[in-house]
Amino acid sequence: MKPIAPQGEWLKERILAGQKEIVIIFIGTQAQQRAVNFLTIMPFTLYLPFKNSPYAYTWPVHGCEVYITDTDYSSQSFIKAFVMFLFISGATHVHYISKKHSQIFQRS
C-alpha cells in the first residue's frame, strides 16, 4: 500500500468522517517549506516532496476542491498528469496556480 501524501493524515480522517474540504497542495522546490508555513492556519495543506512522483502517494482528496500551488515552473505535461491522478483520487475540482498562470480543471 502506498503511503499517504505528506501532512495528509488529518485530511484523511476528516474525509472519512464525511467532511469535504478545500485542499492546498504545494509542489516544487519550496513545497515542503511553504506547506509547513501554511499548516498552522490551514491544516488541510499537503505537499509533494521535491523530485518525488505524485503516484508514490495516496492523496486523500475524495469529494474535495483542490488548489495546486507551484513554487517553480513545472511542465504542463506533469501538471496535467497530476491533475488527472487527483481526479482519479476523487477530487471534484482542481485549480492550478503558478508564477506563470492559473488554470482550472473540472471533472466531466
Query: Residues with Cβ < 8 Å from 6, sequence gap 6 or more?
Result: 32, 35, 46, 47, 48, 49, 57
Q: What is the pLDDT of residue 92?
A: 94
Q: What is the mean pLDDT of the chain?
A: 90
- Please tell me whether residue 98 adopts helix, strand or coil conformation: coil
Mean pLDDT of 88-104: 85
Q: Residues 3-42: pLDDT tens digits?
A: 999 888 888 898 888 888 899 999 999 999 999 998 888 8
Q: Where are the domains of the chain?
A: 9-99
With beta carbons less than 8 A apart as the criterion, state whether 79 and 92 touch.
no
What letter would DSSP give residue 94?
E
Q: Is the pLDDT of residue 93 over 90?
A: yes
- CATH pick for 9-99 out of 2.50.20, 3.30.70, 3.30.870, 3.40.1010: 3.40.1010
Q: What is the pLDDT of residue 34?
A: 93
